[in-house]
Amino acid sequence: MIRSPTTDSTTTTVNSAKRGRPNDSFGSDELMSFATPPQPSQPMTLDALFSAMNSKFDLTLRRIEESNASIATKIDTVKAELEGKLDAVTREINNFKGECATKFQSNEVALSGLCEQVNEIRQEMGGLEKRDELIVSGIPYLPEENLAKYFKAMWKEVGLSESSTPLIDTRRLKSGTNGDGVVLLQFALRNNRDDFYSNYLKNCNLKLSHLGINSTHRIYVNENLTVAARKLKVAALRLKKDGRLTTVYTKLGTVYVKRAAGEAAVAVRSEEHLHRL
Query: pLDDT higher for 204 or 85?
Result: 85
Q: What is the mean pLDDT of residues 37-66?
A: 81
Our CA angle for 148, 149, 151, nearest 5°, is: 65
Spatial separation of the C-alpha atoms in residues 62 and 40, rounded to whole Å: 35
Question: Using 50, 70 and 90 to split pLDDT, how confident is the model at 29?
Answer: low
pLDDT at 9 over 80: no
For the ranges 34-38, 50-54, 104-108, 229-233, the lowest mean pLDDT is seen at 34-38
Q: Tell which residue, 238, 243, 206, 215, has the closest CA to residue 140.
A: 215
Say if CB 268 and CB 256 are below 8 A apart: yes
Query: pLDDT higher for 183 or 122?
Result: 183
- Residue 82 CB-density burial (10 A; 0-12 exposed, 13-18 middle, 19+ buried): exposed
Q: SS3 letters for the chain?
A: CCCCCCCCHHHHHHHHHHHHCCCCCCCHHHHHHHHCCCCCCCCCCHHHHHHHHHHHHHHHHHHHHHHHHHHHHHHHHHHHHHHHHHHHHHHHHHHHHHHHHHHHHHHHHHHHHHHHHHHHHHHHHHHHHCCCEEEEECCCCCCCCCHHHHHHHHHHHCCCCHHHCCCEEEEECCCCCCCCCCEEEEECCHHHHHHHHHHHHHHCCCEHHHHCCCCCCECEEEECCCHHHHHHHHHHHHHHHCCCCCEEEEECCEEEEECCCCCCCEEECCHHHHHHC
pLDDT attached to residue 178: 61
Q: What is the mean pLDDT of residues 107-121?
A: 84
Residues 6+ apart with CB under 8 A from 135: 182, 183, 184, 185, 221, 222, 223, 224
Phi, psi of 102 (to 5 degrees): -65, -45
- Tell me the domain boundaries of the chain: 131-224
Query: pLDDT higher for 196 or 48?
Result: 196
Residues in the chain: 277
pLDDT at 11 over 60: no
- List pLDDT tens digits, range 205-223: 899 999 999 999 999 999 9
The mean predicted confidence, pLDDT, of the chain is 84
Q: Domain 131-224 is classified in which CATH homologous superfamily?
A: L1 transposable element, RRM domain (3.30.70.1820)
Spatial separation of the C-alpha atoms in residues 224 and 190, rounded to whole Å: 13
What pTM, to 2 d.p., does this model score?
Answer: 0.57
Question: Using 50, 70 and 90 to split pLDDT, how confident is the model at 121?
Answer: confident
Spatial separation of the C-alpha atoms in residues 248 and 256, rounded to whole Å: 6
Spatial separation of the C-alpha atoms in residues 267 and 123, rounded to whole Å: 12
- List pLDDT tens digits, range 223-255: 999 888 899 999 999 999 999 999 999 988 889
Question: Using 50, 70 and 90 to split pLDDT, how confident is the model at 8?
Answer: very low
Our CA angle for 221, 210, 163, nearest 5°, is: 85
- List pLDDT tens digits, range 158-196: 999 988 899 899 999 986 666 688 999 999 999 999 999
Q: Tell which residue, 228, 234, 226, has the closest CA to residue 257.
A: 234
